[in-house]
Homo-oligomer: A and B are copies of this chain.
Amino acid sequence: MTEKNPEIDEIEEGTVEEAENILPTSDVHHSREFMDTLSEALEEQDESRVLELFEDMHAADIADLLEFLPSKNRRTLVSLLGDKLPPELFIEVEGEAQFDLYEAVSNEQIADAVTELDTDDAVYVIEELDAEDRAEVLRALTVDDRAAIEENLSYPDESAGRMMQRDLVALPEFWTVGQAIDFLRSEDESIPSDFYDIFVVDPGHKPVGSVPLSRIMRSARNISLGEIKDDDLHLVDVAMDKEEVAYRFTKYHLISAAVIDAAGRVVGVITVDDVIEVIEDEAEEDLLALAGVSSDLGVNEGLTDIIKNRFLWLFVNLGTAVMASIVIGLFEGTIEQMVALAVLMPIIASMGGNAATQTMTVAVRAIATKELTSLNAMRVLNREVIIATVNGAALAVIAGTISWLWYDNITLGLVFAFALVFNMIVAGACGLLTPLTLNRFGIDPAIASSVFVTTVTDVVGFFVFLGVAAAVLL
């Protein structure tokens, strides 16, 4: 199982120092020294120094750097780098830094970058522009490039059609490995610079299989593609949602997949690097949505947008908190007679809210990974109710005992324990059913679940605790 190659093995060993030199100088923006040197060079508008610092730097690193710089320095840096800006920078950079970059360059520069990029990346850049700039950049492109971009843009947002790259290698199955290699060595401009699979197509240009490049390289020239192709195609429909695309790539460990149109003909290819971005975006979206924050609003985003975005959620939450208060208000007289209730009631709400959040988060994740569907929802609901009952009972014993000892009132302890376990069962059921129901109606369960679920546990918790207390204790 080990790699061996007689000619290059058994030579003198290197030292650890050399190994460290080989390691890439990744994440320069995390080095205070580099940032200080750069700030100085930008201060002095020292073009040669700046160019030296950025020589051979990966576009992703330049993007990170831009995001870490203050706005003024970003513009200076962009203008000093001039036409040394790598085209990929336009797709790597995010947030306010993206805004500054696009502002600091001419439409001509953007058009040059777009020409260099793959279709999917070019579309991404075009989408970021306002209508006027977009028209100007599109006019500056060749007819072919413009047509390709406009076709991608004609597919729905979030669809495979938007993600795909149009250049791919599709060959008939009777071709031999030798013919394929000769074709690839030709100067045919439809051949993309990077690809991982050759798609085998029938005369109607419909895919009938795929061959990974490593298999082509390991096969003799006279073997036909039909003989070595994989039959289990994981085709992507041009209208497929990008989340579904990511799901398939992950599940079947794909590196690239052919995209077909409604007639079943190959029209593009999606590669795994684009899928990784979708996976990261979806995970971030769910995480932030559950916390009441829209995605795309990281630490580098515009302040006004963030404030508006978070305000909306907090405002909705104020409404639901007031509802919970109204429930408490119904029992003002009860509380007046027994202040202990006011002291203990936040515990009921807090425990219910936490139990609900646990269930809800597991459910949202399981829906996203398709582990939870309508087929096993009942089984999972049973489990959640059992979990809530067992944990609720255990915690109710502890909490009930604490409150009994605290106020030397065993009935208060029992009422408290009952309300706690009741609310936790409600929390478990509601934490599961809310995301499932939202999902069934086509609403992203991550976005709307938490506000609804915590409102229910607050209202139910306060109502049951204060209501039972009013009936039993007074």
Judging by beta carbons under 8 Å apart, are A262 and B324 in contact? Answer: no
- Contact of A471 with B by CB under 8 A: no
CA distance A23 to B204 in the complex (A): 16
Judging by beta carbons under 8 Å apart, are B328 and A342 in contact? Answer: yes
CA distance A252 to B311 in the complex (A): 35
Judging by beta carbons under 8 Å apart, are A56 and B362 in contact? Answer: no
Judging by beta carbons under 8 Å apart, are A22 and B387 in contact? Answer: no
CA distance A263 to B306 in the complex (A): 48
Judging by beta carbons under 8 Å apart, are B343 and A329 in contact? Answer: yes
- Contact of A52 with B by CB under 8 A: no
Which residues does chain B contribute within 8 Å of A13, judged by CB atoms?
204, 263, 265
Closest B residue, CB atoms, query A338: B336
Judging by beta carbons under 8 Å apart, are A292 and B354 in contact? Answer: yes
Distance in Å: Cβ of A30 to nearest Cβ of chain B: 6
Q: Is the interface of A mostly helix, strand, loop or mixed?
A: helix
The 13 listed contacts between A and B (C-beta, < 8 Å) are: A1-B167, A3-B167, A4-B190, A19-B206, A27-B370, A185-B220, A279-B283, A280-B369, A287-B361, A291-B362, A299-B366, A303-B383, A311-B395
Binds B, one of A43-51, A130-138, A208-216: A208-216
Closest B residue, CB atoms, query A146: B1
* A338-371 at interface with B (beta carbon < 8 Å): 339-340, 342-347, 349-351, 354-355, 357-358, 360-366, 369-371
Which residues does chain B contribute within 8 Å of A310, judged by CB atoms?
355, 358, 387, 391
Which residues does chain B contribute within 8 Å of A340, judged by CB atoms?
332
Judging by beta carbons under 8 Å apart, are B26 and A248 in contact? Answer: yes
Which residues does chain B contribute within 8 Å of A321, judged by CB atoms?
346-347, 350-351
- Contact of A106 with B by CB under 8 A: no
Judging by beta carbons under 8 Å apart, are B212 and A298 in contact? Answer: no
Which residues does chain B contribute within 8 Å of A181, judged by CB atoms?
217
* A195-233 at interface with B (beta carbon < 8 Å): 195-196, 201-207, 212-220, 231-233
- Contact of A286 with B by CB under 8 A: yes
- Contact of A266 with B by CB under 8 A: yes
- Contact of A335 with B by CB under 8 A: yes
- Contact of A456 with B by CB under 8 A: no
Binds B, one of A77-85, A155-163, A312-320, A437-445: A312-320
Most buried by B among A283, A299, A347: A299
Judging by beta carbons under 8 Å apart, are A307 and B35 in contact? Answer: no
